[in-house]
Amino acid sequence: MESLIGTGDGWYDGQGIFHEFTQESVDAMMDSYKETLESIKKGVLYSKYDGDGDTYSMIPPTEDVVSSYSVDIIKDNGKTVYIGDYSTVEELDKAISDAVKNGQLTQKEVDSVQ
């Protein structure tokens, strides 16, 4: 990762802002990777990215697992609407339906993610 510093390479965050690799960002990433490795050694399970989206999951070995359902919908104007943190798919579906009813989203926008 050190070789990326100063090359112009980087990443876009969730707000569409580009961040170039710096010594500070590489150090922060390495610290995060080390923390993840230590937690794996303690029994925490992590999922891998499957190519279908930015799915990230971890299951602590001694805590109850709680599911959270959400979706990011990109509107026709390019803005993203996040609907989420529901404990069931039914609750998420109702929230999406309510967003269409109140005009926050169009049915076409919703259909593009389903």
pTM: 0.44
Inter-residue contact 75 to 81 (CB < 8 Å): yes
pLDDT at position 101, please? 93
Task: State the Cα–Cα distance between residues 55 and 86, nearest whole angstrom.
Answer: 16
Q: Tell whether the model's pLDDT for residue 17 goes beyond 70.
A: yes
Specify the 3-state DSSP secondary structure of 25.
helix
- pLDDT digit string (tens) for 23-48? 998 899 899 889 888 888 877 777 76
In order, the DSSP letters of 14-69 are TTS-EEE--HHHHHHHHHHHHHHHHHHHTT-EE----SSS----EE-SSS-----E
Strand partners of residue 86: 69
Task: State the Cα–Cα distance between residues 20 and 9, nearest whole angstrom.
Answer: 6
